[in-house]
Structure 1
Amino acid sequence: VLERILRGADARPTFRKQSVSGRVIRYVDWVLPGVLAMNMMFSCLFGDGYVIVRYRKNGMLKRHKATPLRP
Structure 2
Amino acid sequence: MGEIVIRVNVPEGYEESFKKEVEEMAKYLRNREKLRKNMEKLFGILKTDKTWKEMKREMHEERLARYLDSY
* TM-score w.r.t. length of structure 2: 0.35
Please say which structure displays the higher CA radius of gyration: 1
Instruction: Considering fraction of residues, name the structure with more helix.
Output: 2
Q: TM-score, normalised by structure 1?
A: 0.35
